[in-house]
Structures are given as C-alpha cells and as structure tokens.
C-alpha cells in the first residue's frame, strides 16, 4: 500500500490566505497532521455538494516546527483546484488534507551540507521549507539558493530571503534569476539558468555541494539538472521534483 493510500484524510481549517506574488497565494492551514520533514507534501481534496471531488498535491513551504501548514498555490487558469484558493476560499473554510507524504525529496539538518537549492517559480515551496528548517537549526552549513522566475515581483518570499542573507552573509547566498526582467541586485542574473551560469555561481559560492535539490516545472528541472551535471555536480548528489507544464 502506498504512503498516500495508507494516510488518512483529516479536516483542515483555512487560517489565512494572502497574495505573495501576482499569481501565487500563501494558504495557512490548521490540521492534525504529524510533523513533516522539509521537502514533503500533502494532498488537498475539495468536495462539492453534488459529491464531485478534486484533489491535488502541494509541497509544504513552512518549517517543520511551524504551528500551521503553509502551502503556496499558483493560479492555473484552467485548473480545477487552484482557482478555488484564489477566488472562493476564505479564512474559516474547511477542506480535506492528508500527509505529510514523500521520502525522497527531503532534507534534515543532520544531513549536513553544503546545500544547493535550485527553484523555478512555485517550485520554491519545498525548498523554502528546507531554508527555514536550516535557519532554525542554526544555519551551520553553507547554503546557496538559486531562484528563477520571470520577474522580481514573481519571486515568492523574496523579502524573507533577502533579510536572511543580510543576517547570515557568510553562510547563506540567495541568487535571483529573472528571465523577463533586468537583475535587481548585484550578483543576480537576468536570463535563464544554464551550465555556464551554474558553474560560475558555484565558483562564486566557493563550495562543493553535498546535497542538491531542484524543483520547478518539467522543462525547468530538466534544464537545471543538465546544467548541474555539465558543471560537474555528481549525479548522485542531485534530487529533483517537478510538476507539469512548461
């Protein structure tokens, strides 16, 4: 029996919904789930009065110690589930939730590092959980997060990441790659990631990653993983998680 099939459904209450980019909302949920590991996900199920239901999987963005489960949900115009969170859902509403699920794409502070995280769009969610867990554990291992989106405004959690780098400049490096906007900060990138850029970033970082996590769309993950391999990152160090779409 799979982990999802063995995991029971629980009622979850929406505590807060807030926009964090033009197309992504943060959804805070209260649910009686076991403590997650950074990188895990939950299944969300919505049910209509006529009995129809739809479910989707969403990575957890909150730290494992957080009192609520935070999901970030990007609006897909033809989606069945995401428009509900953008257009209908309100604090106090309930839905069904099961998890936490997943055992491959996870990181714990005791796993150590150096740790390299590469995110595209809403693929930041599980990596943000890792960053937050790393911070709460003291941030003792070097961590570099490379985060790609079309523009700076579409980078979820950008303010939190900038603040963390200012607080821990010797151990945390945050690099933004904007594919449709000029770099906002010195050291950021204004184009799509490729092998040369990834190699240059590693040289700037000055670390050899022990663990690498890449999350984003199918095309983004494939390109980033190929670039990392071309930049001489060992294949065994790279874990990927992807979702459909371009």
**What are the boundaries of each domain within the chain?**
3-101, 109-243
Q: Model confidence at 246, in pLDDT bands (50, 70, 90)?
A: very low
pLDDT of residue 5: 60
pLDDT tens digits for range 13-26:
999 999 999 999 99
Report the predicted TM-score, pTM, of the whole model to 2 decimal places. 0.94
**Mean pLDDT on 180-191:** 90
pLDDT of residue 147: 97
**Mean pLDDT on 147-152:** 95
Cis amide bond preceding 100, omega within 30: yes
CATH fold group of domain 3-101: Elongation Factor Tu (Ef-tu); domain 3 (2.40.30)
Please name which of 55, 131, 60, 45 lies closest in space to residue 94, comparing C-alpha atoms.
Answer: 45
CATH fold group of domain 109-243: Rossmann fold (3.40.50)
CA distance 3 to 150: 35
């Amino acid at each position: 029996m799979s982990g999802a099939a063995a995991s029971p459904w629980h009622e979850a209450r929406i505590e807060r919904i807030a926009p964090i980019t033009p197309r992504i909302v943060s959804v805070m949920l209260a649910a009686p789930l076991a403590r997650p590991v950074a990188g895990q996900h939950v299944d969300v199920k919505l049910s209509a009065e006529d009995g129809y239901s739809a479910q989707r999987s969403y990575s957890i963005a909150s730290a494992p110690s957080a009192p609520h489960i935070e999901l970030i949900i990007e609006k897909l115009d033809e989606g069945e589930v995401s428009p509900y969170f953008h257009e209908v859902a309100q604090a106090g509403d309930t839905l069904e939730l099961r998890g936490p699920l997943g055992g491959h794409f996870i990181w714990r502070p005791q796993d150590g590092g150096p740790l390299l995280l590469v995110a595209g769009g809403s693929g930041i969610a599980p990596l943000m959980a890792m960053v937050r867990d790393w911070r709460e554990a003291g941030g003792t291992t070097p961590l570099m997060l490379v985060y790609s989106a079309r523009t700076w405004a579409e980078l979820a959690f950008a303010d939190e990441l900038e603040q963390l780098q200012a607080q821990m400049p010797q151990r945390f490096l945050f690099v933004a790659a904007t594919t449709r906007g000029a770099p906002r900060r010195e050291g950021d990138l204004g184009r799509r990631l490729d092998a040369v850029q990834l190699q240059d970033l590693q040289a700037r970082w000055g670390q050899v990653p022990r663990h690498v996590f890449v999350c984003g769309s199918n095309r983004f993950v494939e390109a980033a993983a190929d670039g990392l391999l071309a930049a001489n990152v060992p294949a065994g160090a790279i874990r990927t998680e992807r979702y459909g779409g371009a």
